[in-house]
Structure 1
Amino acid sequence: MIKPRIWITRRLSDATLERAQRDYDVVINYEDTPGTADQIIAASAEFDGIIPCHSEHFTAEVVAQFSDRLKIVANHSVGIDHCDLQALKDRGIFVTNTPDVLSDATAELAMLLMLGAARHAVAGDRIVRSGAWDSWSPAFMVGKQVTGARLGIIGMGRVGRAFAAKARGFDMEVHYYNRSALPEDQAYGSTYHDSVESLLGVADFLSLHCPATAETTNLMNAERFALLPQGAVIVNSARGALIDETALMATLSAGHVAAAGLDCFQNEPGGNPAFSGYDNIFMLPHIGSATKQTRDAMGFRALDNLDAFFAGQTPYDTL
């Protein structure tokens, strides 16, 4: 039996690649560089399926140039804003993602960002590493306490709910905005708000967990930053497009927002060079799901979707 031919666009976990090579005729990009538009278009004529990451962009313009061979795009990611779903659907191409398996890892990182931003992690690390720590006083590096504080969450999907559960371990008072209220058994005792504006007024800490869409681009802008309580801390482990970065720097400079913890940026890779001038921005390079356990689980979930498709079944994670 001829095995389906699959292109894996990035270097996935060893366990994932081993399983893929066992079950499919696989071409792997060991150079681990993002696939270009030309490579993706060419791949549509050479492969039955593709396992891409968020770094490969399936725009309408790219998809319009596809051949008829490609049948499935099994994303190695939860976010699918790099895919024009309608364009792919119109070509009869299945699209899947990898939900569930990265929720805890991303929520853990959001907690790290929140704590690091609240307790001056950037400035503290710099002072110790540079040898500038030569004194102490009760007024030295006083931060914002997380325990018992009010937490606002925008987007109570899988990651938002995982973050809410972990925040309960810090006895935080959790409030959330979502498109609709959750059933009580999924809300972890959180208080629902029917508008972003209502939520912001009580958010001493604000964590973003919603997808990047046309409606959520620059969700946090100057007007909404102003609605946060004085000294609030904002965390973004979702998508860089959610924050107006110029407005964030303005509110940090004015002292209204005390600090930010960011794992994603409008420009990736690279981030925003201007952020380096702010000791109260704690930054990581979009590594929310970067644990060995999660990377294996993401790769296996993508392969599970391929297995189902080529067995004549509808993949579980079809979008």
Structure 2
Amino acid sequence: MAKKRLSVVVTRRLPDAVETRLSELFDVRLREDDTPMTRTELIEAVKTADVLVPTVTDEIDAALIGQAGEQLKLIANYGAGVDHIDVATARQRGVLVSNTPGVLTDDTADMTMALILSVTRRMSEGMAQMQKGTWSGWAPTALLGGRVSGRRLGILGMGRIGQAVARRAHAFGMQVHYHNRRRLHDQIEADLEATYWESLDQMVARMDVISINCPHTPSTFHLMNARRLKLMKPDAVIVNTSRGEVIDENALTRMLRAGEMKGAGLDVYEHGTQVNPRLRELENVVLLPHMGSATVEGRMEMGEKVIINIKTFDDGHRPPDQVVPSML
């Protein structure tokens, strides 16, 4: 007698190859359009599925998990970050949580460097002139930016992505500094030629560029608050490809408008798609629509990890990328 297939619900459209393979292996319910599920649809999903495959756009909180049926045993997140999932409540209910770490490291680090270059070289201002048709020709003093070589880069969060950013920055001739919950091993620190700062305040006050590469947790919410942002040098810039909640967006906007900071490059925002409208008006800001991980290769590898996690679980083993509360 054939083994019953796991019931899997996918909350967003995934690459065709990933959806096809999921359909071959499991009893899968796919999303017809690429819009987030409503709360009602999510409730129905957790009531009926053995496995839920959510993304960062889904709020899998305690209330939702509390409505799950007894058959829900795995939340196989399509993405590395899990701050949208109440992992502790899931564990209490006997529901495992997995994610897709590592596959987006290079993509996100590339985008971080792209934003650093875009802000310091004022690329968005130049693009705006070209798109509006207001460029009148080359001039010796027009749109003068600055070299990144020789600048001090302060990385907030020295995990996989932070270290990948450090390697890229070093290749551009930047001096790498970092603040992290735990200091890196001596050999890693030496390989990256990185200077550790136990005090975030002291690091922030001395850097030319700040790069946010830490996850969003209760301890990192508004880690870059108004007080800490004001410690930055007036000619410094800040870049965020991690989580928007780490920066107090209103305070950042006020400082940028007042000329108390040189510029910012943002791929993530404190309130998701609800970006501060005053932030949109600023010329010294580069805004991207959360596309730091948006490569074909990255999305495919994320899907492969989701499939491996579900298949391993279905075979009676611990998913290789299981997330537990102590990891957060």
TM-score (ref. length: structure 1): 0.97
Q: Name the count of aligned residue pairs.
A: 319
2:301 match: 297
* Residue deviations 1:26-85 (CA, integer Å, cap 9, x gap): 110121211222222211232110111011111111111211111100000111111111
* Residue deviations 1:126-161 (CA, integer Å, cap 9, x gap): 111212111433221111221121000000011111
Partner of 1:215, secondary structure, is: coil
- Do structure 1's residue 258 and structure 2's residue 262 form an aligned pair? yes
1:17 match: 19
- What RMSD over aligned residues (CA atoms) do the two structures have, in Å? 1.2
Distance 2:188 2:319 in 1: 25
1:43 match: 45
Distance 2:209 2:253 in 1: 17
| Identical amino acids, percent of aligned pairs | 38
Shift, 1:191, TM fit: 0.6
- Do structure 1's residue 318 and structure 2's residue 322 form an aligned pair? yes
1:237 match: 241
* Residue deviations 1:81-131 (CA, integer Å, cap 9, x gap): 111111111110000111000000011111111111111122111111212
Distance 1:44 1:137 in 2: 61
| Structure 2 gap ranges (5+) | 324-328
1:227 match: 231
Distance 1:219 1:126 in 2: 32
8 Å CA contact 1:305, 1:317 repeated in 2: yes
Which residue identity does 2:69 align to in structure 1? S
| Structure 1 gap ranges (5+) | none
Distance 2:37 2:84 in 1: 12
1:153 match: 155
- Equivalences for 1:117-196 in 2 at 5 Å? 117-187=119-189, 188-196=192-200
Which residue identity does 1:134 align to in structure 2? S
1:276 match: 280
Distance 1:184 1:114 in 2: 27
* Residue deviations 1:251-281 (CA, integer Å, cap 9, x gap): 1123221000000011222422221210111
Indicate which of 7, 10, 16 corresponds to 2:9.
Answer: 7
1:30 match: 32
Partner of 2:108, secondary structure, is: helix
Partner of 1:227, secondary structure, is: coil
8 Å CA contact 1:161, 1:186 repeated in 2: no
Which residue identity does 1:228 align to in structure 2? M
Distance 2:57 2:131 in 1: 34
